[in-house]
Amino acid sequence: MTGPVHWLFGDQLGPAFLAPGDGGPHRDAPVVMIESRAVFRRRRFHRAKAHLVLSAMRHRAAELGERVTYVRADTYREGLAKAAGEGTEVTVRHPTSRAALGLVRSLAGVTVRPPAGFLVPTTDFAAWADGRGGEKLRQEAFYRWVRRTHDLLMDGDEPAGGRWNLDRDNREPPPRGGARLGEPAPYRPRESAIDEEVRRDLDRWERDGDVSFVGRDGPRLFPATRREALSALRRFVAHRLADFGPYEDAMLHDDPVMSHSLLSSSLNLGLLDPAECVAAAESAWRAGAAPLNSVEGFVRQIAGWREYVWQLYWYFGEEYRHANHLRHTGELPGWWNELDADAVTARCLSTVLAQVRDTGWTHHIPRLMVLGSHALQRGWDPAAVTDWFHRCFVDGYDWVMLPNVVGMSQYADGGRMTTKPYTSGGAYIHRMSDLCGPCAYRPDRRTGEEACPVTAGYWSFVHRHRGLLARNPRTSQAARGLERLGDLDELLRAERARGTAAP
Ligand code: FAD
């Protein structure tokens, strides 16, 4: 093979990664894709995630036809040697994990080109962050900067509609009395022969005892091709974006998706570009097809949160992975590792764990305020929690997991990313969902047979970290609240007795 050859990783599958210019490969450069078995052997992934990634890679290879050499190998190193041979010049876009970046930099003849698939170059972010004079980094400030510099939802120098943040109009509890929000169904793809082949391969790997998976692998629910991802984006913008804002934080037992876009796996596989997603949402608002609170909420998720998380992954450095400010060392129990939702009585946790088991996806609030909050309350090791999220979610990758789990959900970074630990008692879950009604526990009970494990877990967490919470103006009231609890000793005894048992 004559070079330069361009190497595409499995999360670099959209056209942006092969576009010439901005450090991209030469037009018509031969392409190499490597399916590494070792990746699947090292970690016990959700089967639906393994399926999605392999399906997307193989679909991309089929589209590229003769231009691509698709190699199945044990490791990337072996795969590249097989595909490109010694002495071949190879280019690759900046990978999305530190491990992969270390690998490509260590390989002779491989030139690393700038990343694609994000809005802001990491060097621009570093300059922005360093220029803040030691002030704490906050997503809101970053988001406004991105809006200005990318002219997103702006009217001249002002935010469209006059306000940067429309959260006040969003975050409503779900409408009472309805089991579902009543939105048009989200886009779901149709499987192809490639999916059948992937399923056969996964069955064989499992039978051979080579790899093992967790979770169920039903029909593929998320796009594996650019065409499918564009259909999903179009359907979301046309039919579901309008209601995105108000119910962004709400949960319904029978409606796991609500108005969420389900675009994260497509964005993270590189099938969609963030710029086209926010542009489509802005156009819908400018055409009068969706209200500003929903459009701003969606743009904030992508141009604000997603982008911020990507930047922090690189900015905070390798050590961030080991952060453990709260000194949590608990092991994840078996029922959690196995996604054994049926072992759990608490309806919120059992519902959400079942969603993860069955689909490898649940929306932001179940991740943060049910799953993450439970792990935080139980004091589980943040690195183990991060690994669990990475393996069990269809959209999980190292870059997106570290800030979201270590920082946002487990407060293991001591507040570099958020202003306070995110956890709550059952009252929050009750207000924001229909999950508590038929539950065996009562959200307002701290002790006794019907004590809500979320409420008791919350007070146990506050008690364990009362010193730290008392010093933070955003949580000092919670720490003071302990003084009002006449049943604290009984609560702490019951929580200790619960240990790692499924609540
Ligand atoms: P929507 O609610 O429709 O939001 C639109 C888009 O915004 C998403 O598709 C996503 O690309 C982006 N987005 C919003 N918030 C974030 C965020 N905090 N980080 C990154 N992107 C964001 N997101 C992932 O993509 N992969 C993960 O592995 C992941 N793990 C998470 C773990 C925890 C503990 C928490 C609290 C959040 C995590 N998130 C993750 C962020 C967020 O929950 C998901 O992006 C979102 O639920 C995906 O569903 P959606 O596409 O319907 O999102």
Q: pLDDT of 160-169, one tens digit each? A: 999 999 988 8
Express each pLDDT in 47-88 by its tens digit: 999 999 999 999 999 999 999 999 999 999 999 988 887 788
Express each pLDDT in 178-215 by its tens digit: 899 999 999 999 999 999 999 999 999 999 998 999 99
Rounded to the nearest whole angstrom, what is the distance from the C-alpha of residue 27 to the centroid of ligand 1?
33
Taking the C-alpha atoms of residue 277 and residue 13, their distance in angstroms, rounded to an integer, is 16
Position in ligand 1 atom list of the atom nearest CA 310: 20
Position in ligand 1 atom list of the atom nearest CA 408: 36
Count the alpha carbons within 13 Å of 349 in the hemisphere toward its beta carbon: 26
Rounded to the nearest whole angstrom, what is the distance from the C-alpha of residue 264 to the centroid of ligand 1?
6
Count the alpha carbons within 13 Å of 181 in the hemisphere toward its beta carbon: 27
70, 33 Cβ separation under 8 angstroms: yes
Say if ligand 1 is within 6 A of residue 306 CB: yes
Choice from 96, 140, 152, 301 to test ligand 1 binding pocket (greatest atom count within 8 A of CB): 301
Rounded average pLDDT over 478-503:
95
Tell me the pTM. Answer: 0.96
Say if ligand 1 is within 6 A of residue 302 CB: yes
Express each pLDDT in 214-239 by its tens digit: 999 899 999 999 999 999 999 999 99
Rounded to the nearest whole angstrom, what is the distance from the C-alpha of residue 117 to the centroid of ligand 1?
15
Task: Report the pLDDT value the prediction gives residue 3, as an integer from 0 to 100.
Answer: 58
Rounded average pLDDT over 10-18:
96
Say if ligand 1 is within 6 A of residue 368 CB: yes
Choice from 188, 261, 264, 296 to test ligand 1 binding pocket (greatest atom count within 8 A of CB): 264
Rounded to the nearest whole angstrom, what is the distance from the C-alpha of residue 350 to the centroid of ligand 1?
21
**Other CB atoms within 10 A of residue 57 CB:** 24
Collapsing DSSP to helix, strand or coil, 34 comes out as: strand
Position in ligand 1 atom list of the atom nearest CA 395: 26
Rounded average pLDDT over 90-115:
95
Cis peptide before 175 (omega within 30 of 0): no
Choice from 355, 404, 409 to test ligand 1 binding pocket (greatest atom count within 8 A of CB): 404
Position in ligand 1 atom list of the atom nearest CA 248: 2
159 phi/psi in degrees, rounded to 5? -65, 140
Rounded average pLDDT over 496-500:
91
Handedness of CA 330, 335, 336, 341 (dihedral sign): negative
Q: Is 35 left (phi over 0), alpha (psi -120 to 50) or beta?
A: beta
Ordered by where they begin, the domains of the chain are: 5-113 (3.40.50.620), 122-187+223-316 (1.25.40.80), 322-498 (1.10.579.10)
Rounded to the nearest whole angstrom, what is the distance from the C-alpha of residue 85 to the centroid of ligand 1?
39
Share of the chain above pLDDT 70, in %: 99
